[in-house]
Homo-oligomer: A and B are copies of this chain.
């Protein structure tokens, strides 16, 4: 333990208080999605709003500003803690309370309008609110400050340090390379569907996923898994990480890959270094880097033939009647099926990034004012045709499919694609640095990879920006090369 300046000690107590509050917000949110009685939904909304109000109040407290100005960090980690807290605090201070309240109000109208519009398949029920949300987001971006590109200011909330000028060339080049690959793979006869017409007992699915978690190294004494309608990772502390999964009796894939995906997020949270606990360093540097961990485990590892050469026999034992006569190759083919889907959340690994490019281009054009909301549906449908090769029949399977824009969230979508690219690059680096890694995975020995990720990524917390950390680990920054190489290998392209 570094000797601690007394002002820094007071600052640390404030950091711990803020982290505890956000942990409790995490608990109330987790509970809302898992165990909250139906009639308590409004009460929980009020409780969460009270907690968020207190968090905000404590963050912008002038006394915290004084401590941040006067404390002397004892080492590089303490310096980083102060930097991260200052960044968060400065962002909060820049946006006037009036705008925060108006945004919250219009966001809540937006959510209700979007639900009605999606139900009625009619964009006119939502687009007027979206136009208002865009105005408010422009105001917010201007309040936060930017170098002429408002989107940068919004992106900063999800992917600190990332800029449009860095992001868009990567995403657009990626799209150009993916389009012919998708065409080539979808021109082949589709793989067999070994699940069609079968029922997979939900309890057996649950047990199988609960067996996967320790195999992946998720510590069930420092976390848990429950069920929810939409799977997510939450919790209150690195020793209290909570995953959820959902079970579909018609196919075991959502439960299996949902569990592996969330376990990837969960391993990140469990892997924060104990000296970082209850400080701003117990955090991922970005949503994209967090997503890289879920996608690395779900896709890079979890859809590999090697992984299933070890785990498939136990899945067959869980479903002897349903999968006993399905070969490993048929199963692995099915979990890597490529399809031109209209729906992002159902998209496979190869087409997924195209869904992201579509959304990122559109939201950037909207924010810049290059695209008007009245033209958004037509623009979506045209891009869908070009990028995905399919045009939505109605907006519920097109421009209204995702919840993000209902609250005017701009800048979130690209983090999914960044997650895919970082995942591939991190795995490629692991393969270079860990000889025999793929053989170990094929023996079900996942600890080599997990411990490497823990040391190189998780235990680093929020010391560095995402791309700085990836560069430190892989020797190169954001690139699509490793992702494309992995896709070429998996689909024999």
Please determine whether A278 and B239 come into contact, CB atoms closer than 8 angstroms: no
User: Per-residue 0/1 for A135-167: is the Cβ within 8 Å of any B Cβ (1 yes, 0 no)?
Assistant: 000000000000000000000000000000000
Question: Is B240's CB under 8 angstroms from A40's CB?
Answer: yes
Assembly CA distance A27 to B241 (angstroms) = 17
Partner of A221, one of B38, B219, B277: B38
Are A240 and B43 neighbours in the complex by a CB distance under 8 Å?
A: yes
Query: Chain B residues near A36 (CB, 8 Å)?
Result: 240
Taking the complex as formed, is A194 at the interface, i.e. its CB lies under 8 A from any CB of chain B?
A: no
Cross-interface CB contact of A236 among B44, B219, B222, B237, cutoff 8 Å: B44
- Is A20 in the interface zone, CB < 8 Å from B? yes
Partner of A37, one of B38, B42, B222: B222
Interface residues in A, total, Cβ within 8 A: 38
Which chain B residues lie closer than 8 Å to A403 at the CB level? none
With A27-B27, A27-B31 known as contacts, the answer to whether A222 contacts B47 (CB < 8 A) is no
Complex Cα distance A224/B43, Å?
15
Question: What per-residue 1/0 map shows which CB atoms of A197-239 lie under 8 Å from chain B?
Answer: 0000000000000000000000111111010000000001101
Closest B residue by C-beta to A226: B35
- Tell whether A24 pairs with B28 under 8 Å between CB atoms, given A38-B221, A40-B237, A40-B240: yes
Min CB–CB distance A141 → chain B (angstroms): 31
Residues of B within 8 A of A35 (CB): 224, 226
A447: interface (CB < 8 Å): no
A window 19-49: CB within 8 A of B:
20-21, 23-24, 27-28, 31, 35-40, 42-44, 46-47
Across the interface, name the chain B residue whose C-beta is closest to A220. B37
CA distance A24 to B223 in the complex (A): 20
Bound complex: CA of A389 vs CA of B46, how far in Å? 53
Tell me the complex Cα distance, A277–B219, Å: 39
Q: Which residues of B contact A239 (CB under 8 A)?
A: 37, 39-40, 42-43
Known: A46-B16, A278-B46. A219 touches B39 (CB 8 A): yes
| Residue with the greatest number of chain B CB neighbours at <10 A, chosen from A37, A54, A277 | A37
Contact residues, A455-475 vs B (CB, 8 A): none
Structural contact, A40 and B236, CB atoms closer than 8 A: yes
Cβ contacts A374-417/B at 8 Å (1 or 0 each)? 00000000000000000000000000000000000000000000
A51 touches B24 (CB 8 A): yes
A50-B20 contact, Cβ under 8 Å, with A240-B40, A240-B43? yes
Q: Smallest distance from the beta carbon of A245 to chain B beta carbons, Å?
A: 16
A172 proximity list for chain B (CB < 8 A): none
CA distance A21 to B38 in the complex (A): 20
Contact surface of A with B, Cβ cutoff 8 Å: 16-17, 20-21, 23-24, 27-28, 31, 35-40, 42-44, 46-47, 50-51, 53-54, 219-224, 226, 236-237, 239-241, 277-278
What are 30 A-to-B residue pairs whose CB atoms are below 8 Å? A16-B46, A17-B50, A20-B47, A20-B51, A21-B50, A21-B54, A23-B43, A24-B24, A24-B28, A24-B47, A24-B50, A24-B51, A27-B28, A27-B47, A35-B226, A36-B240, A37-B220, A37-B224, A37-B239, A37-B240, A39-B222, A39-B240, A40-B222, A40-B236, A40-B237, A40-B239, A43-B277, A44-B236, A44-B240, A47-B236
